[in-house]
């Protein structure tokens, strides 16, 4: 084991008696593994990602610093936390810093590679316990064997989120034909199995959005269902009813329904505009508020 990881492990064991063993509900907060100085540096920069923004566009400076620190920490071949935090930082850069299409695609190509690496490490941790059948295993199997690892839910969550953004970059239909939709579905279901409350019901939110947005392709995404979209998005809302993302994605799905559902969608978007954005997620929440504003304007014009 490398010296940095030894120091991190020692610090963790010393604090374990009084430490909370589960990850906090918001991944904005540093995890216990952040005793690694590279992770601690990355976390400091990640928490400053709102600095220097111009309107809805984040400055690339702080998030690039976070990415650089997390990237260095991935030199440890067994360090999952470094990888999921790198994926999370790449997600922010790809979505919120105003990149052109080619640059955005490149960011999510990298995120996809790092995510594959993180999940392979988690799979290996199961195999090392003498449990076989990883390749054929499904979300329930993985979740059941990874519940005790605080890095598993964030790894699968950010893997699914970034793969979704990669799919948007290459095109929904092409991504689905290349297996992205099915993998996003399985990764999100694994998050739900590990911790349904992680990231404000993030596993449910991804499953709902996936079912709402994925193209229906025979023999590829025949499982896509509007009913499932609404079911999972409502489950996410039950986990956290104040989340802008939970409300906005449910509103998007509802407005394609009947008049009662359209009225509910309008009320959800109006609620987002009425609420103050989170200071910790300022760019993210402001972006969702703008999307809600655009929805309301488009719906009003079409009515």
* pLDDT tens sequence across 106-129: 999 999 999 999 999 999 988 877
Domain of residue 267: give its range. Answer: 241-303
Domain count, the chain: 3
For tokens 């994925």, the residue is 214
Question: Do residues 105 and 205 share a domain?
Answer: yes
Question: Do residues 196 and 266 share a domain?
Answer: no
Q: How far apart are CA 172 and CA 166, in angstroms?
A: 9
Q: How far apart are CA 259 and CA 157, in angstroms?
A: 33
Question: Do residues 62 and 123 share a domain?
Answer: no
Name every residue whose Cβ is closer than 8 Å to that of residue 198 and which is 6 or more positions away in sequence: 23, 25, 153, 154, 157, 191
Question: Do residues 202 and 289 share a domain?
Answer: no
C-alpha distances out from residue 78 to 21, 117, 123, 131, 279, Å: 20, 10, 11, 18, 33
pTM, rounded to two decimals: 0.86
Q: What percent of the chain has pLDDT over 90?
A: 78
Q: Of 74, 98, 122, which closes a domain?
A: 98
**229 in a structural domain:** no
**171 in a structural domain:** yes
Question: Do residues 115 and 136 share a domain?
Answer: yes
Q: Of 161, 196, 224, which closes a domain?
A: 224
Of the listed ranges 12-16, 90-94, 129-133, 293-297, the least confidently predicted one is: 12-16
**278 in a structural domain:** yes
**207 in a structural domain:** yes
**205 in a structural domain:** yes
Question: Do residues 128 and 180 share a domain?
Answer: yes
**60 in a structural domain:** yes
Question: Do residues 49 and 135 share a domain?
Answer: no
**19 in a structural domain:** no
Question: Do residues 162 and 111 share a domain?
Answer: yes
Tens of pLDDT, residues 162-196:
999 999 999 999 999 999 999 999 999 999 999 99
Q: Of 83, 98, 113, which closes a domain?
A: 98
**233 in a structural domain:** no
Sign of CA dihedral 100, 103, 106, 108: negative
Question: Do residues 108 and 200 share a domain?
Answer: yes
Tens of pLDDT, residues 39-78:
999 999 999 999 999 999 999 999 999 999 999 999 999 9
């Amino acid at each position: 084991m490398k010296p940095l990881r030894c120091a991190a492990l020692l610090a963790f064991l010393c604090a374990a008696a009084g430490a909370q063993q589960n990850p906090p509900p918001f991944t904005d907060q540093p995890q216990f593994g952040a005793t690694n100085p590279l992770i601690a540096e990355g976390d400091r920069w990640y928490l400053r990602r709102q600095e220097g923004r111009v309107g809805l566009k984040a400055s690339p400076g702080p998030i690039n610093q976070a990415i650089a620190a997390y990237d260095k920490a991935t030199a440890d071949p067994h360090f999952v936390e470094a990888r999921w935090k790198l994926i999370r930082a790449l997600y922010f850069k790809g979505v919120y810093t105003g990149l052109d299409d080619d640059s955005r695609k490149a960011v999510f190509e990298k995120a996809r590679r790092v995510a594959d690496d993180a999940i392979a490490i988690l799979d290996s941790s199961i195999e090392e316990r003498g449990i076989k059948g990883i390749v054929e295993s499904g979300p329930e199997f993985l979740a059941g064997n990874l519940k005790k690892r605080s890095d598993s839910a964030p790894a699968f969550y950010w893997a699914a989120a970034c793969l979704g953004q990669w799919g948007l970059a290459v095109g929904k239909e092409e991504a689905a034909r290349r297996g992205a939709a099915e993998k996003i579905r399985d990764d999100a279901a694994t998050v739900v199995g590990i911790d349904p409350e992680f990231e404000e019901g993030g596993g449910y939110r991804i499953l709902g959005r996936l079912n709402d947005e994925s193209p229906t392709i025979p023999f590829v995404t025949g499982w896509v269902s509007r009913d499932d979209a609404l079911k999972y998005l409502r489950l996410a809302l039950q986990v956290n009813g104040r989340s802008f993302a939970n409300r906005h994605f449910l509103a998007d799905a509802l407005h394609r329904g009947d008049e009662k559902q359209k009225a509910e969608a309008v009320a959800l978007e109006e609620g987002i505009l009425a609420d103050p954005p989170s200071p910790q997620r300022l760019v993210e929440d402001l972006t969702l508020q703008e999307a809600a504003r655009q929805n309301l304007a488009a719906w009003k014009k079409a009515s």
